[in-house]
Amino acid sequence: MKLLLWDIDGTLIRSHGRSLEAFKAAFQRVYEVDLPLSSTAGKTDGLIVRETLHTWDEVAILERLEQFYVVYEGELQARFEYLQHETTILHGVHAALSHLQAHTIHSLLTGNMQRTAKIKLDAVDLSRHFRWEWGAFGSDSHIRNDLVPVALQRAQAAGWHGTFDDVVVIGDTPFDIACAKIAGACSVAVATGRFSLEQLAEHQPDLLLEDLTHYEALLQFITT
């Protein structure tokens, strides 16, 4: 059975700036720097911090990083009701998760910290679909390309018999495609985030979907 590793933002849900607002508030509180409005799509939380503070010493960044994550989690949790009301579950996600359930193991590969990923998916009652202990998160590495091996190792340690060939990474950015390719896993791209079908096609994912209402193509891809 394949292991399907889902990205969160732009793939499963869209939080319409509410999580970014929490991230920015925490960033301001801990690093006392305004986070610019640059694109964060596909980047791990730790990478966003490092890129924003690129003129800082790594040591100075790391000194406050744990604190930043704790404050960010608090800022996000404080917005839980907003997240519940405002977060959009993207088209086809419910159908894809339930129709694929019998054929695959759903887990996660995301640049979010594990704890903030949980808050985001709890807000829309999607957490229950995923085997969290097999997932790989921004809290495991700030380098997304490191994350497929982390998930594989966790799954194998828990008794799953698959290899990289049996891992499918699904996401909405070229970074998701790249981390799959580098690891030798399969990549599925969905154009429900900031990148268009054409832009994603340039990065040659193994399967490219406009959105998850085309889950039958995904099911076929996974089962053949």
Q: Which is nearer to Mg ion, 31 or 107 (CB)?
A: 107
Q: Would you state the structure tokens that stand for residue 15, as one six-digit string?
A: 């939080």
How far apart, in whole angstroms, are the C-alpha atoms of residue 195 and residue 15?
A: 17
Give me the least distance between CB of 182 and Mg ion, in Å please. 17
Dihedrals phi, psi of 178, to nearest 5 degrees: -60, -40
Give me the least distance between CB of 185 and Mg ion, in Å please. 16
How far apart, in whole angstroms, are the C-alpha atoms of residue 153 and residue 138?
A: 16
Question: What torsion, rounded to 10 degrees, do the Cα atoms 127, 136, 11, 206 define?
Answer: -130
Angle ∠(86,90,91) on CA atoms, nearest 5: 130
Residue type, 33: V
- By the rule CB under 5 A, 9 interacts with Mg ion: yes
Q: Which is nearer to Mg ion, 3 or 200 (CB)?
A: 200
Q: Which is nearer to Mg ion, 9 or 75 (CB)?
A: 9
Judged by CB under 5 A, the stretch of 1-9, 113-121, 197-205, 209-217 that binds Mg ion is 1-9
Which residues in 147-186 contact Mg ion (CB under 5 A)? Answer: 172
- By the rule CB under 5 A, 7 interacts with Mg ion: yes
Closest residue to Mg ion, Cβ-based?
10
The residues facing 106 across adjacent strands are 4
- By the rule CB under 5 A, 10 interacts with Mg ion: yes
Residues that bind Mg ion (CB under 5 A): 7, 9-10, 172
